[in-house]
Amino acid sequence: MTPDKKMKGSRALVAALEHEGCEVIFGYPGGVAIPFYDALYDAKKLRHVLVRHEQGAAHAADGYARATGKVGVCTATSGPGATNLVTGIATAYLDSTPLVAITWQVRSDLIGTDAFQEADITGITLPIVKHSYLVKSAAELPRIVHEAFHIASTGRPGPVVIDIPVDVALGEAVYHEANDIDLPGYRPTFKGHIKQIRAAAKAINEAHRPVLYLGGGAIASNAAPEILRLAELRKLPVATTLMALGAFPETHELSMGMLGMHGTVTANYAVHECDLLINLGARFDDRVTGKLKAFAPHARVIHADVDPAEIGKNVAPLIPIVGDAKHVAAGLVKELEAMEWPAERTAEWLARIAERKHEFPLHYEDPKDGKLAPQLVIQEIDRLTAHDAIICTDVGQHQMWATQYYTYTYPRQFVSSGGLGTMGFGLPASIGAKIAFPDRTVIDISGDGGFQMTMQELATAVSDDVPVVVCILNNGYLGMVRQWQDLFWDKRYSFTCIDASDCAACPQAPHCTRRGRRAQPDFKLLAEAFGAVGITVTKKEEIEPALLEAIGCGRPAVIDFRTSAEENVYPMVPAGQEITEMIGGPGARGKKS
Amino acid sequence: MKHTLSILVENKPGVLTRVAGLFARRAFNIESLAVGLSEDPRLSCITIVIDGDEHPVDQVTKQLHKLINVVKIRDLQPDNAVSAELVLVRVAGEGEKRTEALQIAEIFNAKIVDVDRRQLTLRVVGTNDKVEALLELLQPLGVLEVVRTGTIAMGRGRG
């Protein structure tokens, strides 16, 4: 694009997006979006993917962003189009992913008149954006796009909404490339203060029982190489949050897997017993800490985060460091390399952790109802993809089994809604990830509940030729809520059964609110109706051929795995309890050994 | 303890909504809030008074700093800041009450800005303590209406 060229606002927007390196935009047209879509008609570099519901556009852009680290972009028309993005924007906000959502707005002079398809989307999204813009003129559009990309992708990343009245798209802009960002109030700190880093390095060097606790910031700042070096340098056992899976290879002997509500026994006990907790880019979320007062009771705490507001929000650290995980880890490595350190200092601790890993691996039993063990399905996916696929998930039991039984080896491999816990995230997110990495196997592990929330995006996958593999762990229940009803609500399965095909034979029928009507679609036929490959798996020996066929067929595919109805996710720390009070804790084996 | 935050923000549409929205979302209570242009027309100054016992001021400031349009925040300490608010008070003022109201007004350097046969309206400028003291003294006479601007404040010069 030639600098300083006069053009319509809509074309200036396309030019600005292309200048920012945006290669794909997920969206859905509508009345006031037509000028932009008209400009897309001629766009040479920018690919548009037509989703089937705007929520899918936001999740697909988010999935693209999580898999690549680049800004994901979605667009929707005014009113309902824009409000349909809201769940996706909130999902990105809670997990701090870089997303730019472009919404179209009624004509400037109609704003505030309750015009057709008018909604105050900057107002509606105010609490769930990092920043937002209501564009006033075509002239400021290119600058706003550049600012939006800058804000979304730097510091603690997050979603930015750009709301553009249709007359702005039609108005005249002089397009010129970036460099006019004007943000006097926005200067994120990346580098930790050297004094704090030195204090932290000293504490690490002196610790007898250290634990490295990684959060999403480790992924967002691309800190994996520095973290690997740091962990190996002082033999730090590593526990990751759900958002950090893949930031440290789980095949590594220092990996303890995930901590928290459904974390490993080893990770949770290590945090409980450690004398130094080194938090890089995590936020002491309640799903991790359980009862906050009893969390890491013996530990001195180092907390490094790029967002100063996270430091001291839930836990007051002894050594706070404002800076991103990458810079802080690199700084720590540099300091530690110059220090003397006797390896015997932590030998006993490492031995204790190794022993516990051996004694309490993840574990499950063959289901009594003769159906598939959901954990086995994930293990088979792990085995057949050699720890190398990009795994996207929905939210619930299948998500937790996906965290537990797949072995994550590289960052951005696990794409999942952690903070907001958005069902329906998996399929559209997997489409975004697959578009970013067409040569990688991308698998959406979903449940029969979550899949039905956004399954219309199968049409997107088919029509845009995005061969994702959807693995539905179909247990006929909204499984995680059913699990809570089972454990904490006297097995009163209120509206959590979504497959009433076999009520006569169902042992839970007396406690259930459903009665005798078939509710669950046949997912194989459904996939085929969309033009995708559909496979039903009911037996162990069918798992491997089904996965190989789905992965190898080069088309979008859905595998309906009929899994055990009342299997629970263990171990489990009940909400608000100490993290050592784990249901199903002791006595186990499985993967993350 | 009460904290007075002086927040310099970009003078752009919707910025006050963002600040107020943040207080709502994080469940921080605002005791008073005053907004106006600063010496630089591109910037506005928001003065917010919050109860520091109720919310960690540190957390409030850090969250405010995350707003892109917030340029600078100062937590003004009473001993090195000047502060004032303007208050209009309408009190009942017939017979003896009127004399008493006028005396109180004089003590507090308040101006009578409106008067009729039954009531009078005082305008007073002062610190929060002064205003509270005035309102307390006027209470027995019958305070009919109070309108306050909220505190504005500025750090003291160091010259």
Q: First CA to last CA across chain B, in angstroms?
A: 28
Q: How many CB atoms lie within 10 A of CB A518?
A: 11
3-state secondary structure A222-234: CCHHHHHHHHHHC
Q: Which residues of A touch B (CB under 8 A)?
A: 122-123, 126-127, 130-131, 134, 151, 156, 183-186, 307-309, 312-313
CA A312 – CA B141 distance, rounded (Å): 49
Ordered by where they begin, the domains of chain A are: 5-175 (3.40.50.970), 194-359 (3.40.50.1220), 374-476+520-562 (3.40.50.970)
Beta carbons of B25 and A127 less than 8 Å apart: yes
pLDDT for A515 equals 63
pLDDT band at A591 (very low <50, low <70, confident <90, very high): very low
Q: What is the ipTM of this complex?
A: 0.84
Beta carbons of B68 and A151 less than 8 Å apart: yes
What are the chain A neighbours of B64 within 8 Å (beta carbons)? none
Cβ–Cβ under 8 Å, residues A270 and A237: yes
Could you tell me which chain A residue has the CA closest to the CA of B23? A127
- Of the partner residues A122, A123, A185, the one whose CB lies closest to the CB of residue B68: A185
Closest by CA to A371, choosing from A189, A537, A575, is: A537
Q: How many CB atoms lie within 10 A of CB B41?
A: 8
Please give the share of chain A, as a percent, with pLDDT higher than 90.
Answer: 87
Among A111, A121, A125, A131, most B C-beta atoms within 10 A, so best to mutate, is: A131
Highest mean pLDDT among A183-187, A512-516, A587-591: A183-187
> Is the confidence at residue A3, as pLDDT, over 90?
no
Provide the shortest C-alpha distance from residue B59 to chain A (in Å).
6
> Is the confidence at residue A189, as pLDDT, over 90?
no
CA A468 – CA A532 distance, rounded (Å): 10
Q: Assess B67–A contact: CB distance below 8 Å, yes or no.
A: yes
Q: Assess B157–A contact: CB distance below 8 Å, yes or no.
A: no
Beta carbons of A309 and B71 less than 8 Å apart: no
Cβ–Cβ under 8 Å, residues A307 and B67: no
Query: What element of type H or E holds A415?
Result: strand A414-415
> Is the confidence at residue A434, as pLDDT, over 80?
yes
Amino acid at site A262:
H
A102 has which bridge partners? A75, A162
What is the tens place of the pLDDT at every residue in A367-392? 998 999 999 999 999 999 999 999 99
Provide the 3-class DSSP secondary structure of residue A17: helix
Provide the 3-class DSSP secondary structure of residue B125: strand
CA A527 – CA A524 distance, rounded (Å): 5
Could you tell me which chain B residue has the CA closest to the CA of A306? B66
Structure tokens at A260: 């928290």
Q: Assess B70–A contact: CB distance below 8 Å, yes or no.
A: yes
Beta carbons of A309 and B14 less than 8 Å apart: no
pLDDT for A592 equals 40
What is the tens place of the pLDDT at every residue in A333-366? 999 999 999 999 999 999 999 999 999 999 999 9
Closest by CA to A373, choosing from A563, A204, A523, is: A563
> Is the confidence at residue A1, as pLDDT, over 80?
no
Could you tell me which chain A residue has the CA closest to the CA of B13? A134
Provide the shortest C-alpha distance from residue B48 to chain A (in Å).
18
Beta carbons of B17 and A123 less than 8 Å apart: yes
- Is A583 or A177 the better-scoring residue by pLDDT? A583
CA distances from A435 to A397, A414, A416, A459 (A): 27, 15, 17, 15
Beta carbons of A127 and B21 less than 8 Å apart: yes
What are the chain B neighbours of A182 within 8 Å (beta carbons)? none
Beta carbons of B10 and A185 less than 8 Å apart: yes
- Is A591 or A229 the better-scoring residue by pLDDT? A229
Closest by CA to A549, choosing from A524, A570, A529, is: A524
Provide the shortest C-alpha distance from residue A309 to chain B (in Å).
5
Is the Cα torsion angle A323, A324, A327, A328 positive or negative in sign? positive
The conformation of residue A367, written as its DSSP 8-state character, comes to -
CA A428 – CA A63 distance, rounded (Å): 7
What are the chain A neighbours of B66 within 8 Å (beta carbons)? 130, 156, 307, 309
* Residue-averaged pLDDT of chain A: 94
Q: Residue A571, preceding bond cis, omega within 30 degrees?
A: yes
* CATH 1.20.120.450 is right for the domain spanning B2-76: no
Q: Kindly state the average pLDDT of the residues A476-494.
A: 94
Domains B2-76 and B82-155 share a fold: yes
Please give the share of chain B, as a percent, with pLDDT higher than 90.
Answer: 74
- Is A205 or A513 the better-scoring residue by pLDDT? A205
Could you tell me which chain B residue has the CA closest to the CA of A187? B68
Cβ–Cβ under 8 Å, residues B85 and B125: yes
Beta carbons of B18 and A184 less than 8 Å apart: no
Angle at A76 between CA A22 and CA A464, to 5 degrees: 60
- Of the partner residues A126, A308, A309, the one whose CB lies closest to the CB of residue B18: A126
Q: Kindly state the average pLDDT of the residues B31-47.
A: 94
Amino acid at site A329:
A
> Is the confidence at residue A588, as pLDDT, over 50?
no
**CA-based R_g, chain A, Å:** 25
> Is the confidence at residue A427, as pLDDT, over 50?
yes
Beta carbons of B70 and A184 less than 8 Å apart: no
Q: Which residue has the tokens 């040479």?
A: A44
What are the chain A neighbours of B71 within 8 Å (beta carbons)? 184-185
| DSSP codes joined into one string, A240-257 | E-GGGTTSS-TTSTTEEE
- Is A580 or A545 the better-scoring residue by pLDDT? A545
pLDDT band at A176 (very low <50, low <70, confident <90, very high): confident
Among B68, B71, B72, most A C-beta atoms within 10 A, so best to mutate, is: B68
Q: Which residue has the tokens 């798996």?
A: A537
Domain B82-155: give its CATH code. 3.30.70.1150
Beta carbons of B58 and A184 less than 8 Å apart: no
pLDDT band at A589 (very low <50, low <70, confident <90, very high): very low
Establish how many alpha carbons lie within 13 A of residue B131's alpha carbon, considering only the half-sphere containing its beta carbon: 19
pLDDT band at A518 (very low <50, low <70, confident <90, very high): low
- Of the partner residues A127, A131, A313, the one whose CB lies closest to the CB of residue B68: A131
> Is the confidence at residue B47, as pLDDT, over 50?
yes
- Of the partner residues A127, A186, A309, the one whose CB lies closest to the CB of residue B68: A186
- Of the partner residues B62, B63, B69, the one whose CB lies closest to the CB of residue A185: B69
Query: b or e along A487-508 (b: 16 or more beta carbons within 10 Å of the residue's beta carbon)?
Result: eeeeeebeebbbbbeebeebeb
Beta carbons of A127 and B70 less than 8 Å apart: no
CA A592 – CA A480 distance, rounded (Å): 22
Burial class (CB in 10 A: 0-12, 13-18, 19+), B14: middle
pLDDT for A310 equals 94
Beta carbons of B68 and A130 less than 8 Å apart: yes
Burial class (CB in 10 A: 0-12, 13-18, 19+), A156: buried
Could you tell me which chain A residue has the CA closest to the CA of B69? A185
pLDDT band at A43 (very low <50, low <70, confident <90, very high): very high
What is the tens place of the pLDDT at every residue in B111-149? 999 999 999 999 999 998 999 999 999 999 999 999 999
Backbone torsions φ then ψ of A275, nearest 5 degrees? -100, -10
Q: Assess B17–A contact: CB distance below 8 Å, yes or no.
A: yes
Residue A106 makes CB contacts below 8 A (sequence gap 6+) with A32, A78, A115, A116, A117, A118, A165, A166
CA distances from A298 to A47, A208, A285, A319, B95 (A): 53, 12, 19, 15, 72
Cβ–Cβ under 8 Å, residues A293 and A315: no
> Is the confidence at residue A511, as pLDDT, over 90?
no
CA A329 – CA A308 distance, rounded (Å): 17
- Map out the domains of chain B as residue ranges: 2-76, 82-155
Strand order across the A557-562 sheet: A414-415, A390-393, A442-447, A469-474, A557-562, A533-537
The conformation of residue B12, written as its DSSP 8-state character, comes to -
Closest by CA to A213, choosing from A259, A251, A250, is: A259
Q: Kindly state the average pLDDT of the residues A546-571.
A: 96
- Of the partner residues A184, A309, A313, the one whose CB lies closest to the CB of residue B10: A184
CA A384 – CA B158 distance, rounded (Å): 71
Beta carbons of B68 and A183 less than 8 Å apart: yes
Q: Which residue has the tokens 């006031």?
A: A32
